[in-house]
A = this chain, B = another copy of it.
């Protein structure tokens, strides 16, 4: 590896001047700057990020934390899409992404410890279960951070407008003539799960549809199996709903499967709405009516918030709520003229 010393020796300047020239400081003459930059290039010089981070107390590195309750990690289609967009955005500012887990070497540590060990300048947290004490510690720590799809005033947050989303879904179903509308809920210890249950209830109120306990079934942590079983419970009811709003696309897909397995058809017998608009939503049969979360905007906003926090430590925390969109496809049907 060629170091700053090698460049200094070759050009005859001191390492101080070389460093300043390479970092494009103003107080170096244009002429010597040119010489140094050219020589460095020829020699294939590269700064050593460790040495740089050590002196500057800044690593241009951001930690990504997936809380692994579901065990899917970066396989999760919604989160991985957000992270991909987040990554593209922060790269523009020179930041690289590093995954933070709960181990250092073989020893189990906390996320914070690991983040400090790796010297990240900030972290982005994506997970469903924010009650995890480790996550709480992380969010409340002074380390700049941004969390997705949750609300807290302890750090920066960005999330989709779940309330409006639920309203869009319910408006849509109601306009198609549905009143027996059930909800497959995401786990009650997740922010999104709770928010959407809320939104569902508010919409019922809006249309003066009485709320029925049996019409909310727990689908667990947004899994296919959870959706499948939840739907089976709805199908076993005396009064089977004509429409089901699932708190996530994967759960919706599980629900569709349950309906098919029961010998029924979507949307002829039951209309289904999902949430997320993952890549596959448009490719399944029937294609899924769902809420599109704007992953690109979420990733971009999260990046901007985090970088801004890093650069202005004293800044207040921000909460950004992003608009959503209802995507109508084949899984919902008008039943006003039916029977």
Given contacts A46-B117, A77-B75, A84-B75, contact A283 B253 (CB under 8 A): yes
Give chain B residues whose Cβ lies under 8 Å from the Cβ of A97.
Answer: 98-99
48-71 of chain A: CB within 8 A of chain B: 48-51, 53-54, 59-61
Give chain B residues whose Cβ lies under 8 Å from the Cβ of A292.
Answer: none
Within 8 Å by CB of A284, from B50, B73, B94, B284, lies B284
Give chain B residues whose Cβ lies under 8 Å from the Cβ of A279.
Answer: 75
Q: For the complex, what is the distance from the CA of A103 to the CA of B84, rounded to whole Å? A: 16
CB distance from A66 to the nearest CB of B (A): 9
Which of A's residues lie within 8 Å of B, judged by CB?
A: 1, 46-51, 53-54, 59-61, 72-75, 77, 80-81, 83-84, 87-88, 91-92, 94, 96-101, 103-106, 113, 116-119, 224, 253-254, 257, 260, 279-280, 283-285
13 more contacts with CB within 8 A, not counting A80-B80, A91-B101, are A49-B118, A73-B87, A73-B88, A74-B87, A94-B104, A96-B99, A97-B98, A98-B98, A98-B99, A257-B283, A260-B285, A280-B280, A284-B285
Give chain B residues whose Cβ lies under 8 Å from the Cβ of A87.
Answer: 73-74, 99
Given contacts A80-B74, A84-B73, A257-B283, contact A50 B96 (CB under 8 A): no
Give chain B residues whose Cβ lies under 8 Å from the Cβ of A77.
Answer: 75, 77
Which B-chain residue is minimally distant from A116 (CB atoms)?
A: B46
Q: Considering the complex of A and B, which 6 residue pairs feature the smallest CB-CB distances, nearest first? A: A94-B105, A285-B285, A50-B54, A50-B53, A73-B84, A98-B98
CB distance from A168 to the nearest CB of B (A): 25
Some 23 contacts from A to B, beta carbons below 8 A apart, are: A46-B116, A46-B117, A49-B117, A49-B118, A50-B50, A54-B54, A72-B84, A73-B87, A74-B74, A74-B83, A75-B77, A75-B80, A75-B81, A77-B77, A92-B106, A94-B104, A94-B106, A97-B99, A253-B283, A254-B283, A280-B284, A283-B284, A284-B284
Which B-chain residue is minimally distant from A102 (CB atoms)?
A: B91
Q: For the complex, what is the distance from the CA of A143 to the CA of B278, rounded to whole Å? A: 37
CB distance from A36 to the nearest CB of B (A): 16
CB distance from A307 to the nearest CB of B (A): 14
Within 8 Å by CB of A103, from B94, B104, B254, lies B94
* Interchain CB contact under 8 A, A96 and B101: yes
